[in-house]
A and B are shown apart, each in its own frame.
Chain A
Amino acid sequence: MQQGEGAEAQVTWEDQQNINKFGRLNNRFHELEDEIKVAKEANESLEDASNELILSDEDVVRFQIGEVFAHMPREEVESRLEKMKEDASKELERLEEEKESVLAQMAELKKILYGKFKDSINLEED
């Protein structure tokens, strides 16, 4: 936040709480961007794995559990992958929704804070 030029508007506790909330939301926004990136990569990997599985014609597939590759029948691997893809896609959706909500709340707070403090406050990314 920049320092204003002798601002006239007094900062009340409510203003401070709004500023704090904006800070928290901004942090959460950046965390979400990172989490979404990871979730997208996970989704892609699972998609690739699924495609590889279709292309291969082996009956026994080596499926990673923990640190080892367990030998599993193809059908079991298919159903496990399907479940993992579903979970990953739901997770990505949840994260995107949270991001939208955070952005909306930040926009609201910007309106309020710029409304009161105008040039004396800077809420943009540097």
Chain B
Amino acid sequence: MAASTSSSSVSSPGVTERRGIPATSFVEDVETYLKQSGLDVNSSLSFLQERLQQYKIVEMKLLAQQRDLQAKIPDIEKCLDIVATLLAKKGTGEALIADFEVSEGIYSRARIEDTDSVCLWLGANVMLEYSCEEAKTLLQKNLENARASLEVLVADLQFLRDQVTITQVTTARVYNWDVHQRRIRQAAKET
């Protein structure tokens, strides 16, 4: 039963890490794995648990980053909407009349004349004036970057979750192998 035909007990899918997240190697055969690592079952199980905890910490961090990006994207889209509306109004000579929130629950009316420029909040208490066209280009670039970052982040999370699943399965297999061994020893004693 333990005579496995594979030459090594640990096979790697070819990826050892992804953007700082270490990959966990797949265990082909539990017995060979335990012999090679020189650990007994309990130490092996705690090592795997520790790994799991480390992965969980990284997962929390990535999920927080994902939430931030997911909040940022609709904000950028709203800004683009306004700039597009202003650009559309430009030729007409009409002013844009808008009701805006002065304070919570209090609104006031603003008259936005035909304008060539808008100010963009760049963060860190900095606001910069741009022409409408430049603003549109900048916002679109920011939107694309945010979407691309989100894609990479989602792929990172998938990779991480795979490593967590592999670690969980390995834990179960080591545990089961131990239970099996105990049963065999028990049966041997009784005969």
Contact = CB atoms under 8 A, between A and B. Distances in A.
Contact of B110 (A12, A23, A62, A68): A68
Contacts of A20: 161-162, 165-166
Given A1-B168, A4-B172, A13-B13, A69 B180 contact: no
Contacts of A120: 176
Contacts of B97: 70-71
Nearest to A22: B165
Contact of A67 (B78, B158, B162, B168): B78
Nearest to B109: A71
B98 A68 contact: yes
Contact of A24 (B82, B98, B161): B161
Contact of B85 (A11, A12, A62, A70): A70
A66 interface: yes
B141 to A, nearest CB: 19
B85 A65 contact: yes
A84 to B, nearest CB: 11
A68 B99 contact: yes
B176 A23 contact: no
Interface string B163-181: 0011011001101110110
B154 to A, nearest CB: 10
B28 interface: yes
A16 B100 contact: no
Contacts of A1: 168-169, 172
Contacts, number: 74
Contacts of A126: none
B101 interface: yes
Given A19-B165, A24-B158, A71-B98, A65 B81 contact: yes
B100 A67 contact: yes
A4 B11 contact: no
Nearest to B99: A69
A6 to B, nearest CB: 4
Contacts of A4: 172, 176
A23 B162 contact: yes
A63 B97 CA distance: 11
A67 B183 CA distance: 68
By Cβ-Cβ distance, the 3 closest A-B pairs, closest first, are A6-B180, A66-B78, A71-B97
Interface of A: 1, 3-7, 10-13, 16, 19-20, 23-24, 27, 62, 65-71, 120
Given A20-B162, A70-B85, 4 more contacts: A6-B177, A11-B169, A16-B166, A120-B176
